[in-house]
Amino acid sequence: MAGSPTARRRRLAIELKKLREDNKLTCNQVGQALDWSGSKVNRLETGSGRVQPSDVDALCRFYDTTDELREFLKSLAKESKVRGWWQAHGAGVPQWFSVYIGLEQDASSLRQYQCEFVPGLVQTSDYAAELHRVSNQLTATDLDRAVNVRMERQAMLTRDGAPDLWCIVHESVLHHVVGNRALMRRQLNRMLEVGELKNVTLQVLPFDAGTYPATGAFTILGFPEQEDPDVVYRDGLTDAIYLETPGDVSQYTRAFDNLRAVASSPPRSAALIKHVLEEHSR
């Protein structure tokens, strides 16, 4: 079963939509049969609202599912209401980013491209604090909470069943001084440490890599269950975009494959990081 409330809600939505499509019905047809609106059925299938176990029970009985499947989907509905650990940090975690953390917690693979800053799962607490201090209007307490959440997220890289993380970072990120040079030295050393983990691959896209098909940072999240399709995540200052259609995911997957093909190998990337680290030490 999916590990986080967000992932459970997503899995439930996928299963409910599949049941309707297998029965060759529209949302409006299901809604009319159950004396609901078609928009309610759509909300249940997109996970955009709270799902009551009683609604899931009614849908399963209408679709004539097995008792086993009905109870499984009802349990997903119940457990999707549980608050994730990150939601206790209040304003330190914006709602639009809370969705991402929930998906990240259940991912089996993460493929990331960053062209401005060090990826969050590789950041030191000082580096993360500098970014939050500049980009968010947070109180001192909420800033600490935001940094703590980022540090807690990193624990997933060393847990049992840790996801595979593949990061591609543009070389400009290494030269971009966030805070001061002492902070950057600690940050680059942290990148080298994380890059040595067996489930982490770290590549640097050098300045002389030429052209490549990418127009900004993105993450592709993969999941252990075959029924859960990959998700592409892109964020901004105040919101985020989640792409799940096969066409969109395929384009980003090809872009990532092209990026890792032109990026420096992990050993050469580590050597480049060490070279820039020496520059920051002068």
Q: What angle do CA 78, 79, 85 make, to 5 degrees?
A: 140
CB atoms within 10 A of CB 167: 25
Report the C-alpha gap between 79 and 76 in whole angstroms: 5
For 206-232, what is each residue's pLDDT tens digit?
Answer: 999 888 877 789 999 998 877 778 889
Report the C-alpha gap between 223 and 77 in whole angstroms: 19
The single residue listed with the structure tokens 């980003």 is 252
The reported pLDDT for the residue numbered 218 is 95
Contact partners, residue 49, CB within 8 Å, separation at least 6: 43
For 172-182, what is each residue's pLDDT tens digit?
Answer: 999 999 989 99
Q: Average pLDDT in the 15-22 region? A: 86
Average pLDDT for the chain: 86
List of domains in the chain = 5-79 (1.10.260.40), 90-281 (3.30.870)
**Among 45, 48, 66, 237, which residue's Cα sits nearest to residue 136?**
237
Under 8 Å between Cβ of 101 and 84: yes
Beta-bridge partners for 166:
111, 201
For 144-164, what is each residue's pLDDT tens digit?
Answer: 888 888 898 899 999 988 999
